[in-house]
């Protein structure tokens, strides 16, 4: 009986010591993949500088990632929100980018087009009337994320009208990406 408990305890300790492994049918997204996407967006980083803030998995290997937002996170870090081009491949996730004290942090691109590829083809709009999105409202010391529906079509950088999910308030917001809009309080 005592041996069985000892074996169970050792197995539990060994399982807890192992790093997280992607579930069957899921593929882990690596810091190297994130570094590649950021480098394509104009922020040159190595995989050593990328810290995944959670275990991130996708339903396919090598999913097409896009940068949704970037913001400074202290003196030597940047917080970056990424997502898969197809929301069926992975959920949006956050990473931290670290710079050493000697390296200067690069400037954050000011326009959404600088970090989000603009769709090409016959439809220049990335948001459409009736499509759901997240509105990031920012004030002096307040940051709010609000689920909304678009009332107009819009391309990156354009201002469109949106309505809250409860349809109680309307806002004017700048299109940032397919699912993210920005507004001011």
- Structural domain boundaries in the chain: 22-101, 132-184
The tens-digit pLDDT sequence of the chain (185 residues) is 555 555 554 544 444 444 445 556 788 999 999 999 888 877 788 999 998 888 888 888 889 998 888 877 777 788 888 888 887 888 888 888 887 755 555 555 544 444 444 344 456 788 888 888 889 888 888 888 888 888 888 888 899 998 888 878 889 999 988 888 998 87
Q: What is the pLDDT of residue 93?
A: 87
Q: How far does CA 147 lie from the centroid of its chain? A: 16
Between vectors from CA 74 to CA 184 and to CA 42, what angle results, nearest 5°? 75
DSSP label at residue 183: E
- In terms of pTM, does the model score above 0.85? no
DSSP label at residue 171: E
Query: What's the CATH code, domain 132-184?
Result: 2.30.30.760
33 close to 62: Cβ distance less than 8 angstroms: yes
Residues 99, 105, 106, 111, Cα dihedral to 10°: 100
Q: What is the pLDDT of residue 112?
A: 44
């Amino acid at each position: 009986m005592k041996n069985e408990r000892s074996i169970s305890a050792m197995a539990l300790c060994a399982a807890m010591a192992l790093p997280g492994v992607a579930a069957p049918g899921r593929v882990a997204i690596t810091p190297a993949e994130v570094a590649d996407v950021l480098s394509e967006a104009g922020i040159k980083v190595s995989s050593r500088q990328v810290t995944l803030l959670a275990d991130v998995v996708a339903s396919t290997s090598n999913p097409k990632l896009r940068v949704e937002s970037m913001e400074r996170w202290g003196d030597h870090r940047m917080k970056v929100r990424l997502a898969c081009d197809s929301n069926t491949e992975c959920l949006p996730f956050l990473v931290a980018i670290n710079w050493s004290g000697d390296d200067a942090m690069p400037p954050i691109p000011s326009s959404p087009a600088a970090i989000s590829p603009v769709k090409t083809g016959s439809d220049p709009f990335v948001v459409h009337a009736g499509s759901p999105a997240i509105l990031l409202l920012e004030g002096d010391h307040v940051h709010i994320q609000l689920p909304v529906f678009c009332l107009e079509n819009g391309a990156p950088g354009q201002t469109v009208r949106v309505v809250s999910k409860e349809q109680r308030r309307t806002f004017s917001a700048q299109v940032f990406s397919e699912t993210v809009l920005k507004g001011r309080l």
